[in-house]
Structure 1
Amino acid sequence: MTRSSDAEHPFSDAGGKRGRKPGPIAGTAGPSHRAWLEPVRSVLFASGLTLNDLVDRSGYSKTRISELLRGNGYYPAWEITFSVIRALGLPVQPMRRLWTAAAREAQKESSWISQCVRQVAPGEPEQPPIPHQAFTDAMRAPYTAYARALLLTDHRARRAVAETFDILWLCWKDASSSEDIRRYAWHLLRSRVMDRVERHDEGHPDLRAAVFSTQEAHTGPSGRLAVPTDLVDLFDAIGRLPNDQMDIAVLHHLCGMALEDIPAVIGLSEALTHAIEHHARAALEGMVHHPHSPRE
């Protein structure tokens, strides 16, 4: 599976003005590892703190902090991770969940994870900001439907959505001050899903397997699950659309969401959403019925 580019993520290595920043995240860091590493780096860069500042505040060496921030070497223990996020003033509860999920992704034993967590005092229980809780309650169902349509299983969908909401909590200050929090959060969800979606060799999402979860799929005479060929072609074409067109097509056609409900989910105006959907339908018509015509 090809990893999505950093340009698709709402977090970038920009904003810091003092000192030299750590190098880019190592390519060996998995999706769950990047899920917490990207916002931690984003908060660090925006804070203007240098690596030396973080060393002084955390009590760990520059080498170890640098490795943690790049995702290099062994997966970091919770103790050093906790020291870094406390130095940055980040909430512990969502970070611990993200760290635990990434530790499992790194194939760490449950006993190692539990021991790491026990070595750090739990502290006082934290509650997310009330607006964050209201937002997650409103978006959980449409986000999960979108993630399930692309990732195919409930477990993978719930995992991507849970990551999204935990990262949103970590970065709530930036999210709530953004031009449109719905758009900010949608890009965040999309990045989590696209890090895990199956892809064609040329890089775009491969949605052909999603057709087997539709009502049109049926068991043929041989006992095998069968679907109409034109439906497979349609799902494959949806995966080739530009980002916004694909997202609206997935929500509208694969998830069954009414077109008038989509703007509130993806953070676009109603007029723009209708225009994008119109272009998507025209593009799909060209790709499915005229497969040899030029594709945008």
Structure 2
Amino acid sequence: MPLPGPAQPPPLHSTAKRGRPPAPISPNAGPSHRAWLEPVRSAQFASGLTLDDLVVRSGYSKTRISELLRGNGYYPPWEITFSVTHALGLPTRPLRRLWAIAAREAGKGDDWIKHIEQVAHPGEEPPLPYQAFTEDVRGVYTDYARAFLLTDPRAQWVVCEALDILWVRWNQATTSENLHRYAWRLLRARVMARAPRHRDGHPDLRAAVFSTREAHDHSAAPGYLVVLTELIDLFDAITRLPDDHMDVAVLQYLCDTPHHTIAHILGIAPALTHAVDHHARATVEALLTTPTPE
């Protein structure tokens, strides 16, 4: 199939009329597949380009493009993925990484994935404002992800995934009311998609107890099991707070993030961090003073 050249004009987002949203994503699409497919679908809807428009711009049939946008059927080869995303004016480099990760999730072998090299398009350099933004938030993002995912490799992997999605969505993110808020919700969604959970759906932070300073400091003390029980109860209570409150509590008590940094990274008012601190302290006091049923 013919591939569009790099000089192809991007869609006119500002003047195009939005069309009908595509059909829902197939339930068979895994979380890594959805990581790149959802922003591609959003870009297609926002651009106003129809399937017929994408047929002309990409050189692929309407049926194949429709299957790609729904995550239906076989996992799409890079050639058609690149053709459609390039026609939508989306950056190639982060999409290449996201596509390759999802291909492994779909059970594709390295030889199949290496066909990505047949498309001679090196990808764009990230925008300088995006680079500055990611340098600013990466450390705190990784600390937060580690609290739920426990290991550095898993945390760093999810943060890289989230920041690649942010790059794909950069135009949308920078026109939102609050860039930091937009990016944080994106990062949070990727962490929660892979965090362990209780049966009732709440995140499970119990394993994070063993990485805390309190657990290490009291490991040889007579009341070690009591300390662990109190910490486990506390972490369970934190995960049942409203999302903003939980995030502030995790960043403050598990990640030792200062109040002003929390407000900056989350894109919230500094006063909210103090309110959550008060709420969390009250929760700790209640847990420590309430008798344990025999």
Measure how far apart 1:215 and its partner are. 2.7
TM-score normalized by structure 1?
Answer: 0.85
Tell me the amino acid that sits aligned with residue 170 of structure 2. Answer: W
Kept after mapping to 1: 8 A contact 2:18/2:47: no
Deviation per residue, 1:100-157 (Å, 9 max, x gap): 1111121211111012x1221124x521111100000111100000001011111211
Kept after mapping to 2: 8 A contact 1:21/1:50: no
Give the number of the structure whose alpha-carbon radius of gyration is greater. 2
Question: What residue number does 1:136 align with?
Answer: 134
Kept after mapping to 2: 8 A contact 1:143/1:189: yes
Matched, 1:229 2:229: yes
Task: Report % sequence identity.
Answer: 63
Measure how far apart 1:79 and its partner are. 0.5
Quick one: structure 1 residues 287 and 243, their matched pair in 2 at CA, closer, same or farther if it must change by over 3 Å?
Answer: farther
Structure 2 Cα separation of the partners of residues 92 and 256 of structure 1: 36
Structure 2 Cα separation of the partners of residues 197 and 277 of structure 1: 24
Tell me the amino acid that sits aligned with residue 187 of structure 1. Answer: R
Structure 1 Cα separation of the partners of residues 129 and 169 of structure 2: 13
Tell me the amino acid that sits aligned with residue 189 of structure 1. Answer: L
Structure 2 stretches lacking a partner, 5+ long: 1-15
Question: What residue number does 1:38 align with?
Answer: 38
SS at the partner of 1:240? coil
Structure 2 Cα separation of the partners of residues 136 and 57 of structure 1: 32
Structure 1 Cα separation of the partners of residues 141 and 261 of structure 2: 13
Measure how far apart 1:29 and its partner are. 1.6
Matched, 1:121 2:123: no
SS at the partner of 2:213? coil
| Higher RCO (CA < 8 A, seq sep 6+) | 1
Structure 2 Cα separation of the partners of residues 291 and 189 of structure 1: 38
SS at the partner of 1:94? helix
Tell me the amino acid that sits aligned with residue 188 of structure 2. Answer: R
Kept after mapping to 2: 8 A contact 1:208/1:236: yes
Structure 2 Cα separation of the partners of residues 291 and 52 of structure 1: 67
Q: How does 1:190-205 map to 2 (within 5 A)?
A: 190-205=188-203
Q: How does 1:239-250 map to 2 (within 5 A)?
A: 239-250=239-250
Structure 1 runs (4+) greater than 3 angstroms displaced: 16-20, 216-221, 279-292
Quick one: structure 1 residues 135 and 177, their matched pair in 2 at CA, closer, same or farther if it must change by over 3 Å?
Answer: same
Measure how far apart 1:31 and its partner are. 1.6
Structure 2 Cα separation of the partners of residues 136 and 283 of structure 1: 33
CA RMSD of aligned residues (A): 2.3
SS at the partner of 1:89? coil
Structure 1 stretches lacking a partner, 5+ long: 1-15
Tell me the amino acid that sits aligned with residue 165 of structure 1. Answer: L
Quick one: structure 1 residues 100 and 253, their matched pair in 2 at CA, closer, same or farther if it must change by over 3 Å?
Answer: same
Tell me the amino acid that sits aligned with residue 178 of structure 1. Answer: S
Measure how far apart 1:285 and its partner are. 4.8
Quick one: structure 1 residues 24 and 17, their matched pair in 2 at CA, closer, same or farther if it must change by over 3 Å?
Answer: farther
Question: What residue number does 1:154 align with?
Answer: 152
Structure 2 Cα separation of the partners of residues 285 and 87 of structure 1: 57
Kept after mapping to 2: 8 A contact 1:32/1:102: yes
Question: What residue number does 1:93 align with?
Answer: 93
Question: What residue number does 2:4 align with?
Answer: none
Give aligned pairs, total.
272
Quick one: structure 1 residues 58 and 286, their matched pair in 2 at CA, closer, same or farther if it must change by over 3 Å?
Answer: farther
Quick one: structure 1 residues 238 and 120, their matched pair in 2 at CA, closer, same or farther if it must change by over 3 Å?
Answer: same
Structure 2 Cα separation of the partners of residues 176 and 49 of structure 1: 22
Kept after mapping to 2: 8 A contact 1:54/1:84: yes
Structure 1 Cα separation of the partners of residues 46 and 156 of structure 2: 30
Quick one: structure 1 residues 60 and 244, their matched pair in 2 at CA, closer, same or farther if it must change by over 3 Å?
Answer: same
SS at the partner of 2:75? coil
Tell me the amino acid that sits aligned with residue 118 of structure 1. Answer: E
Structure 2 Cα separation of the partners of residues 148 and 204 of structure 1: 17
